[in-house]
Structure 1
Amino acid sequence: MFESEMLIGGEWVPGTGDVLQVQNPATEETIGTITNATTEEIDRAIHAARKAFPAWAGLSPFKRAELLHKAGELIDQRKDDIARAMTTEQGKPLNEARGEVSKLAQTLHFYAEEGVRVHGEIIPNESNAYQSLVVREPIGVVAAISPWNYPAELIGWKIGGALAAGCTIVVKPPELTPFSPLAIARALHDAGIPAGVVNMVTGKGSSVGQHLVESPLVDKVAFTGSGAVGLRIQQSSLTVKKLSLELGGNCPMIVTATADLDAAVKGAARRSFRNMGQICIAINRIYVAESVYEPFLSKLAAAADALTIDNGLDDPGADLGAMASAEPLGKTKAHLADALQKGARLMAGGRPPEGEKFRKGFFFRPTVLADCTHEMQVMTEETFGPLVGVAPFRTLSEAVEKANDTPYGLASYAYTKHMDEMRYISSRLDYGNVAINNVDAGIINAPYGGRKQSGVGYEHGREGMLEYFNFKHVRICFDEPEDA
């Protein structure tokens, strides 16, 4: 379950760098160790990917699809073991971890199918003697750097799109949650993906990730994580590279007077607190029409209080588990204290769960704050924890203005039963993803990406695979055949 070797050039090798401990966030116990890959080991992985690229790119897309399908099937077969590793290292309940691994398998199947539908174009010229072909060719070697909140699914988006396009890849899994990604790499290897096509090196982002970014042999960097790190990646690359940066957000939700309040509360509770709020598209702040403000607050507070928290291994069906580490827990507490000091009203949570079993571990009750303003951190920064701020609004234009008052633009949400309000809100929210009367802003067969400081590029959908291609224009001049 806790594989610590790295996959380089088709071989599982022990690392020789510094040893890093990995904790169970529910118990604070060490569950295993990984090594911080040395520059020599990282370079070996990059060279292995470079060596494997021509053959993999030249392979029939149908053969690549066959291997991706096989990998998806194998991951699904090993779902329970991978999920148990994820819960142990990340904290989310076991049933939720199983669901994430299933989504990873579905992602590989989706991109297996998309890979055989890579279409080019024929473009007319001024003269019929000329014909312009636009073809798509795989970029080359990809460095994938992923975060700890969804250690399987977010890696799958990158591996699926890259491999279907014909690229090879070097993955740097998160140091907090390395074991479920390593189990995924094991499944890809066992499915028959050729040596060097998928490589995985462990360690810190500041050293391993940075070396991948700076390598002149890496053609593209696909990163999911914080805006600060994404900006550093953009600024520190020593050569021109294609970048896909998914950098999180500060996601709003608007609830109008015509909304189904029960549905809105159910959606808000799910998307504010799922995975303890440790998700890029979590609802951070909610703007509610004055006429339904207090009823919404009381219902949301009751929904938050009803959510169950436990060690995800002890209770696989718990709503929430532990937070992944002390860092996001500390930020949650800091944002809470800031809001209360500035006049927010505590409606639910605000403390760790009670009981001896929660004496250790990074647990915190889902927390609802009322009467929040944009002078509070909870409304202007991404908390990445189980904390949501709520504020009233008088007019729809005011709600949209407040929702857009952020440097981020990943996802936004609204609940309304009025068609005119739906059009008004969806056309004016400056976000890459807008969900109306639901809180599932991302689905695998539609493009998913942010605006402004939430990043560049897309994952999911056909667009997620096209991020791994170069376009080539081939212009041909024809003569009339001699015997025409």
Structure 2
Amino acid sequence: MTDPRQCEMYIDGRFGNGGETEWLDVMNPGTEQIIARAPDARAPVVDAAVAAAKEAWQTWRWTNPFERSQLLHAIGDKVTLAERLIATAITEEMGKPLGEARGEAKKLAKAFHYYAEEAVRVFGSTIPNEDDGFISIVEKEPVGVVGAIAPWNYPVELIGWKLAAALAAGCTIVVKPSEYTPSSAQGLFRCLDEAGLPPGVANLVMGARETGRLLVGHPDIDKVAFTGSQAAGEDIYRTVRGITPLSLELGGSCPLIVTGNADIERAVAGTLRRAFRNAGQICISINRAYVHESVYGRFVDQLASGARSLVVADGLLRENADVGPMTTRAGVAKVERHVADARERGAQILCGGGRPDGATRGLYYAPTVIADCTPGMLVMHEETFGPVIGVAQYRSLDDAIAEANGTPSGLAAYAYTENIKESFTLSKRLDFGNVSINHVDAGIMNAPYGGRKQSGTGYEHGHEGMESYLHLKHVRLRHGA
């Protein structure tokens, strides 16, 4: 066994540990071995990173957008070259199979190329005045220094959404990755360094919760962008100073509705993908399903059969495994609590419900289908964030929609139906920021992505994702003509 590698932060164009003496262990969840150590940054390091970003902003904000665009394209190209290295770090630290991790790295590169193009599309407007000799010009300007915090489940892609959009808008940024996944973030910042991004424009600090609090509460942070749990989002609301703009993506307990007019085979295939991919550790994972009584039996039988056939394995040893280990012991404990609650309340565990056969180490949990669920069960109203889905049957579509809308979350919802009227009824009445009908890919790079209710505020993806890093200036000019 080799010694754990030491991760480095990136501040003002230089890699190093910032002189920190406190370190955090990073575990491979597939083996439960410590594979890396990361600095746990305190106030002096956070202060230095924010100061570097503030200083760089005085130049970066005025950098020609076509030059910013070229740098973002260069970063995207560097990410493509480093794809396997970044993906390996993802798999080692959070467990998703290497094939999935490489897909994440590809989408990271795509984000930089997309926002490279958006950088030159920051358009203002002119507004007529009722008085002759005046013109009103509305300009868009970068908000300033951004503090960004990303989670461990998509450790580089969710940094990339914030980083690429902020840089395209002319902001500078300080990023804190999850303490569970520092190495992949370091790999991304090596790409920024190699692409020639000016010092201070993007900075990387590492640490746990206190580091994040220091960052979002820093007086020189002009905007906060965060993806994570609802509890952490509420904590950020209480921590930011003054009137700091926030973008919060806080996940949720995402529902699926399968009507009597659905293509059941297609619905099952989509559910297997979106309930168990990344071991269910996705903000838009299908947590709970409501299936019409006429097709309920077929659906749950096929879903359970499909879940049993999924390959659960170490994603480094089996690159194309379907499901890897969960990332944290706390996550496994929550899954166990939800499954035990459903069992005690009379639900049927059709498959899974514990560790996979033969697993002797690692944070593995077998894909689990729970049938005959009722609204009071935890799996039907809390976000499980693991490879578990609860299924209930319904009689009327109104009832199914009411149940789907009946939690405080509002990030994504899914439905399967071949009936056009049902499709439009569902798309209109499901109270979620993203609604997917007859497929399970709720987000695309060139369309806005965000939640409602307790699932957050603000948007990522699309031109709207960059707009949140801009604010407006009205210039009213008297020219006399």
Fold match (TM-score > 0.5): yes
Q: Residue 6 of structure 1 corresponds to which residue in structure 2? A: 9
Match of 1:111 among 112, 115, 122: 115
Partner of 2:190: 186
Deviation string, structure 1 residues 388-422 (Cα, Å, up to 9, x no partner): 00001111111100100010100000000011000
* 1:433 paired to 2:434: yes
For the residues of structure 2 that align with 1:118 and 1:153, how far apart are their CA atoms? 23
Give 1:2 shift: 5.0
What amino acid sits opposite 1:186 in the alignment?
Answer: R
Alpha-carbon separation, structure 1, partners of 2:296 and 2:8:
53
Q: Whole-Å Cα distance in 2 between the matches of residues 270 and 331 of structure 1?
A: 21
Residues 102-157 of structure 1, C-alpha deviations (whole Å, 9 max, x = no match): 00000000000011111111112222322111110000000010000000100000
Give the Cα–Cα distance (whole angstroms) in 2 for the partners of residues 465 and 115 of structure 1.
8
Partners of 1:289 and 1:191 lie apart in 2 by: 53
- SS of residue matched to 2:61: helix
Task: Kindly indicate whether residue 274 of structure 2 is the aligned counterpart of residue 267 of structure 1.
Answer: no
Q: Which amino acid aligns with 1:213?
A: V
Q: Distance in 2 between matches of 1:2 and 1:78?
A: 18
Is 1:68 aligned with 2:72? yes
Alpha-carbon displacement from aligned partner over 1:286-327 (angstroms, at most 9, x marks no partner): 000100000000000011111101101000010111110111
**2:212 aligned residue:** 209
Query: Of 314, 322, 339, which residue of structure 1 is paired with 2:317?
Result: 314
Q: Within the alignment, does 1:231 sit opposite 2:234 as a pair?
A: yes
CA shift, 1:217, in A, is 0.3
Query: Which amino acid is 2:181 matched to?
Result: T
The residue type paired with residue 44 of structure 2 is: E
Using the TM superposition, give the Cα deviation of residue 478 of structure 1 relative to its aligned residue in structure 2, in angstroms.
Answer: 2.2
2:410 aligns to what?
A: 409
Aligned to 1:42: 46
Q: 1:168 to 1:2 in 2, by over 3 A?
A: farther
Equivalences for residues 67-466 of structure 1 within 5 A: 67-205=71-209, 207-355=210-358, 358-466=359-467
Q: Is 2:255–2:290's contact at 8 Å kept on the other side of the alignment?
A: yes
- The separation in 2 between residues aligned to 1:54 and 1:251, in whole angstroms, is 42
Give per-residue Cα distances to partners, 1:249-272, cap 9 Å, x unaligned.
110000001100000000011000
| Selected match of 2:33 from 29, 33, 37 | 29
Q: Residue 221 of structure 1 aligns to a residue in which SS?
A: strand
Letter in 1 for 2:290: Y
Tell me if structure 1 keeps the 8 A contact 2:161–2:461.
yes
Cα distance in 1, alignment partners of residues 262 and 272 from structure 2? 16
User: What is the letter of the counterpart of residue 150 of structure 1?
Assistant: Y
Distance in 1, matches of 2:222 and 2:78, equals: 29
Q: Deviations over 1:29-55 (max 9, x none)?
A: 000101101210110000000000021
Contact 1:3 1:182 in 2 (8 A): no
Q: Secondary structure at the match of 2:331?
A: helix
- How many Å apart are 1:3 and its aligned residue? 5.6
Moved over 3 A (4+): none
Whole-angstrom CA distance in 1 between matches of 2:21 and 2:40? 5
| 2: CA distance, partners of 1:337 / 1:450 | 29
Q: Is the 8 A contact 2:6 2:37 kept in 1?
A: no
CA shift at 1:352, angstroms?
0.8
- RMSD over aligned CA atoms reads 0.9
Q: 1:170–1:199: 8 Å Cα contact kept in structure 2?
A: yes
> How many residue pairs were aligned?
477
| 1:161–1:468 Cα contact (<8 Å) kept | yes
Task: Find the counterpart in structure 1 of residue 58 from structure 2.
Answer: 54
Cα deviation 1:32-81 (Å, max 9, x = unaligned): 10110121011000000000002111001110010010010011001011
Any idea what the Cα deviations from partners look like across 1:370-397, whole Å, max 9, x if unmatched? Answer: 1111110000100000110000111111
Identity %: 52
Distance in 2 separating the partners of 1:96 and 1:407:
30
Measure the CA separation in 2 of the matches of 1:363 and 1:412.
27
Structure 1: state its 5+ residue gaps.
Answer: none
* 8 A Cα contact 2:268 2:303, kept in partner: yes
- Equivalent position amino acid for 1:175 in 2: E
Q: How big is the shift at 1:239?
A: 2.1
Q: Distance in 1 between matches of 2:128 and 2:430?
A: 38
Deviations 1:319-351 (A, max 9, x none): 111110111111001000001100111111112
Give 1:238 shift: 2.1
Report the residue type matching 1:132 in the other structure: S
- Structure 2 unaligned blocks of 5 or more: none
Deviation at 1:17, TM superposition (A): 3.6
In 2, are the aligned partners of 1:2 and 1:179 still within 8 Å (CA)?
Answer: no
Cα distance in structure 2, aligned partners of 1:21 and 1:3: 10
User: 1:469 offset after TM fit, Å?
Assistant: 0.3
- Aligned to 1:151, what secondary structure does the other structure show? coil
**SS of residue matched to 2:465:** helix
2:174 aligned partner, one-letter code = V
Q: TM-score, normalised by structure 1?
A: 0.97
Provide the TM-score with structure 2 as the length reference: 0.98
Distance (Å, rounded) in 2 between the aligned partners of 1:236 and 1:217: 14
Distance 2:335 2:128 in 1: 57
Instruction: Identify if the C-alpha distance between structure 1 residues 241 and 163 changes in structure 2 by more than 3 Å, giving closer, same or farther.
Output: same
Partner secondary structure for residue 58 of structure 1 = coil
Measure the CA separation in 1 of the matches of 2:346 and 2:356. Answer: 24
My pick for the range that moved more, 249-258 or 126-135, is 126-135
Task: Report the 3-state secondary structure (helix = DSSP H, G, I; strand = E; otherwise coil) of the residue aligned with 2:295.
Answer: helix
